Structure formats: structure tokens, C-alpha cells
Amino acid sequence: MAATFQRIFTAALLLLMCAAAPALSARRCADCGSSPVPYPLSTGPDCGDQSYKIRCTSTQLLFDTLNNSYPITSISPETQRLTIQPSPFLPNTCITQDISTIGVQLNSSLPFNITSSNTIVYLNCSETLLTSPLNCSSASLCHAYVNGSSSGNGGAVGACRSAPICCTFRAGGSSTSYMIRVRESGCRAYRSFVNLDSSLPVSRWPQPGLELQWVSPPEPVCTAQSDCDSDSTCTPDPNSNGGISRCFCHSGFHWDPIAALCAQDVTCEDSDGCGSDHTALIAGLTSGLGVAVIAVAIAVFVYRRHKRIKDAQDRLAREREDILSSGGVKNAKLFTGKEIRKATNNFSRDRLLGAGGYGEVYKGVLDDGTDVAVKCAKLGNTKGTDQVLNEVRILCQVNHKCLLRILGCCVELEQPLLVYEYVPNGTLSDHLQGPNRKLLTWDCRLSVAHATAEGLAYLHFSAVPPIYHRDVKSSNILLDERLNAKVSDFGLSRLAHADLSHVSTCAQGTLGYLDPEYYRNYQLTDKSDVYSFGVVLLELLTSQKAIDFDRAQDDVNLAVYVQRLVEEERIMDAVDPALKEGASSLQLETMKALGFLAVSCLEERRQNRPSMKEVAEEIEYIISIATAKA
């Protein structure tokens, strides 16, 4: 007990010393009236991070979009999120005031995006929305909102009740991360609700709000050492091409983007405590009987609480190991938390490969020099945790050269981690539409299509029970140094039931790739993957995005655009001009053949679509034609 008591007071003293003299590396902006402005948000040129600008008026904080401004109602620096107030209705109409600016449009080059915590209710919609992927059925949540709302809002509720078509969707997908569109040809009004519990009556719904999140800021920019504190050095940023310098923390410190300072690393590993002898301090504190009794009581309480937390963590780790073992993880390595932290340099930001709805992916290097990719679930995100555990169960059952290989996992830390083989050459999406894209030859594209089809066919026909991917898209197809394709990201996968169908409570996947039948009835089959793969084939053929608002309004959806060209017998107009340039007549014929195969995958009724095995065989036949000598 004495050793425990000494460790507790030593840790408390260290925390007090760290809190007493924080070393700030960045300046927080002054409060806007009664509203604090946490770092990195900036209301002026001399504070915050200039990439995170907001505005402070005499009465409130405002968030500027590309063509409008919205009041900020709350800010949470701990979760790096803020909430803005949606545009009000025009008087006596079911039309929001920002229809003139086509709704909320964020600048995708800035570090803000719309979160998936928003439930969007579209109101006063045109009939064209009935063919969209949104839920516009009579059971849509928007009807409950309109019918359950009390009269008010300047007559808007009554006007919305007279507009029969409304839709509901969850924001944060690929096409709604930066935009909530309202327009005359679509929906003319919207409401947004953060963390909505749809089981509650409308009278108990939260006030309308649109939640945005910001990316963790890098170290602050500097021009000289005088701009930095004593715990950091002004050095050129290796990730910048513009000669920018930043205040990088010294060894033994790390950048804390929430506190906006260089925080000291905790490296104490001495089981008997760190620091100098505090016997005199303890003797002084225990000199009085009353003080001694209180101190011992606190020490016992903290010790028992720490033990309960440790026992809970051990129990959680055991439960996760049992769950994973039931799915076959015994064939994969269980990494320790220490191994993972060392491999990723304690999850250093310069090792970050990317982030998504599930959490973040870091590059790691194991002790034997093997490069790996480490996927970690988002803290506190139960859905993310379930997705990671599900991916372990599924990936340990499959073994195919065209599927991303899992090496193991770690369940010791707060959230489970997955360890994959590292594929260094980026995604198919990067090569087709990325800013540094290089032209993929037609033979290479056919090879990628065939490998992807083979991998999906393996999941559908060789895995027992069959596995449906549920999120097939070009950004989930990785290319190695030889441009060989590997299908990745099984975070949304589910094991198919014996009746070869699976009904989910909500649509999952990515807009532009999802099967229209799945949008309507939420029934999952292997043909849902076939539809998504058909869109990938169109991307390979056209080098265009599945959803692109830079195209004409009726052609935003790539599948709809190409199907229209097919009906007009102009399918070759969709092919990437760089592919057609210098192509032989034989190659042009194979391009047309792949286009018709893609359209067959996009058939409205799933019974009319080919299976993935048939698709793979057809691509193999097209390749044999393409490689045949004239």
C-alpha cells in the first residue's frame, strides 16, 4: 500500500508540474462575445490556424461556405466538431432561403466536411427524386417530421404538408461530405438533425442543426525561431512544396492539436515510480493524523478504481479474442499494443495513410522490416469497432491473390486494430481521377477489371458461406508496384445467410455505386456487388467519377449518363479520349464490348444481371481478343 500511495502522489505531482507551465506553440483567438473560439479556429490573421477561418460579428460566430454564411450554434474542440444553423424558410413557403445559392456548399479544399451524424430531411421535392437513391417512400422519416411538427415557421409547416414528395438520408457519403443541395429541379427545402433518435416523437427531436468536423491541424506555421516556443524548432515542412516552415516539437514532446501545444511524452516505465525521492513530502503530508486518514482514503479509492478499469480492459480484451477466435482468427497473429505503437511510431501523423467512416489507417514497419498497414477504429465509435471485428472474421476465411491479405490484429488497446499487408501504389481511383494520375493503358485496365472480378467471384462462390462485399468502388481497389489489383475494405461486408439474401435496416455503401433495388428494399444479394462492379467498369472505360457535379445536371450519375449514351447508340462517346487516341480497331471493339458488359451489370432488375463468375469469364474472353495478333 505504501508503494501504491507513493506512486499516486508522484503521478499527481508530475501532472501539476505539466499543468503549471504549459508551453504554447500556437495562439488561440479571443472569445467572440460569450462564445470561446478554440484552436485551430481563426477569427483573425494573428490567431488560430488560417486554414480554419470563421467570422466573429458583434453578436455571434459565423461559418462561411462557398456562397453563404451560417450562424455557429455550438463548438466541441474535444471532438473537433461544430454545428451550424440551417437556413430558415421563406415566409409562408416550403422553401429555404439558401435555395438561391443551391444550399450548403463547402470548399472541399478546406479542412471541414459534413459528418455522418446528420440526418437530412429533404422537403418539397420534384418527382425526379423518386428515381434517386434517397429514401422517398411513404415510410420515409420526413413524413413523420412534417406531420408531427407544430404549426409555425412562418407558415412553412403547412406549405410542406401540401408538398407530397419528401426524402430522408444520412449525410456524410462521398457526394454529401461537402454539399447539401436545394434547387428548383430537385428539393426546395431541407432540415438537418444531429444524432437524431428516430424512435422519439417529433416534439422531442433536437433543434435543427448541421454538424461539421475539422481535420486535426498540423504544427503552426513559422518564419523564424522567435515564432516558436522553447519546446519546438522552426524547420521546413517536408510535406510542403511551397517552402513552408513549422514549429516542430523537440524529441520527447509531441504536437497536441486540441491543446495547441507541444506536450511532453510520458515515458516512465519504472514500476517503483519515476522522479526523485518524495519521502520528505510524504512525511510532511502525513504529519497530521487527519490529513493522513484523508490521504489514505483517497489512495485506496483511486487504487480500487484503477483496478476496476484494468480488470474491465482485460475482460474486454478476452471477450474480443473469443469473438475473433470463433471466426478463425487463430490463423492470424495477435499483436501486442507495444508492437503496434512501435511499428507506427506511436501513431505518428506522418504515418497516416488515410481516414474514413471506420477510423484511420497508418503505415507501420514491424521489427523484421515488413511494411504493414494498421487500421484502427474511431474512438467511441461502436459502429467502427463492429466493422473492424467483422472484417477480421471475414478476411481470415479468405485466401486469394486478388484480395487484400490480413496479417493479424491487436485487441489490447482501447479499440481493436487490424494489420494488413501494405500495398504501396495507391488506389485505382487515384490512378484514374487523382491529381497526379498517369494514363493506365487499355491492357492494364482490362487486367485490373479481371483481377477485381476474380476476387469478388471468389467471395461469392468459393467462400463458405458466401461473402458479399457491399462497398465495391474504385477507391477500395488497391494497386501494387506492378499494377496488380487487390480488393480491400471489408468494413461493410456481411456473411450471406443460407437463403442467399440479407436484409439490413439501412443502406450502406457509397452513392453512385449502390444497387437501386438495395436502396428501395434494403435486400442484399451477390447481384448488389455486380451492380457496383459495373460502375467500376465504367470508371475504367471513361476515367470519370461515379458521381460528379461538374457534369451536366442529368449526367451527375455516371451509370445514368452512360446508359443514356447506350440508348442513343453513342457508347464510344463515353470512352476516355486518351484511350481512343492511337487505338487499333481491335482495341476499340474490346472497349465497346467492355462497355456493354458494364451496362449489363447495371440492369435495373437483379435477375437480369450476370453473376460475378460470368463477368470474370466475359472479361477473360475480351482480354483474349485484345491480345490476339491481327
What positions carry a catalytic annotation? 471
Residue pair 290/44 in contact (Cβ under 8 Å)? The answer is: no
Kindly state the helix (H) or strand (E) to which residue 471 belongs, with its residue range. none
Q: In which order are the strands placed within the sheet that holds 221-222?
A: 221-222, 245-249, 232-236
The torsion angles phi and psi of 561, rounded to 5 degrees, stand at: -60, -50
Residue 7: CB atoms within 10 A of its CB come to 19
Size of the chain, expressed as the number of residues it contains: 630
Distance of CA 58 to the CA centre of its chain: 36
For the chain, the distance separating the N- and C-terminal CA atoms, rounded to the nearest angstrom, is: 87
What is the DSSP secondary structure assignment for residue 89, as one 8-state letter?
B
Backbone angles phi, psi at 46, to 5 degrees: -110, 15
Distance in angstroms (rounded) separating the CA atoms of residues 388 and 197: 24
- Residue 58 phi/psi, 5-degree rounding, is -70, -20
d(CA 143, CA 148): 8
DSSP states along 258-283 = TTTEEEEP-----TT-SSS--HHHHH
Distance of CA 611 to the CA centre of its chain: 30
The answer on whether 375 is annotated among ligand-binding residues is yes
**249 in Cβ contact with 262 (< 8 Å):** yes
Query: What's the CA gap between 363 and 422, in Å, rounded?
Result: 8
Q: Cβ of 555: how many Cβ atoms within 10 Å?
A: 15
Question: Burial code of 237-260, b = ≥16 C-beta within 10 A, e = fewer?
Answer: beeeeeeebbbbbeeebebbbebb
144 burial type by CB count under 10 A (0-12 exposed, 13-18 middle, 19+ buried): middle
The two counts, helices (H) then strands (E), for the chain are 15, 28
Q: Which of 500, 539, 504 is nearest to 519 (CA)?
A: 504
Report the SS3 class of residue 354: strand
Instruction: Give the helix/strand (H/E) hosting 227.
Output: none
Distances from the Cα of 292 to the Cαs of 8, 278, 283, 286, 289, in angstroms? 14, 16, 10, 5, 5
Report in angstroms the alpha-carbon separations of 525 from 130, 347, 405, 497, 532: 23, 38, 24, 10, 12
User: Going along 176-304, which residue ranges are E strands?
Assistant: 179-180, 187-194, 210-214, 221-222, 232-236, 245-249, 253-256, 261-264
Q: Among 465, 489, 486, which Cα is nearest to 390's?
A: 489
Largest CA distance in the chain: 100
The residue type found at 325 is S
Backbone angles phi, psi at 85, to 5 degrees: -90, 125
Residue ranges at the known binding site: 375
Residue ranges at the known binding site for ATP: 375
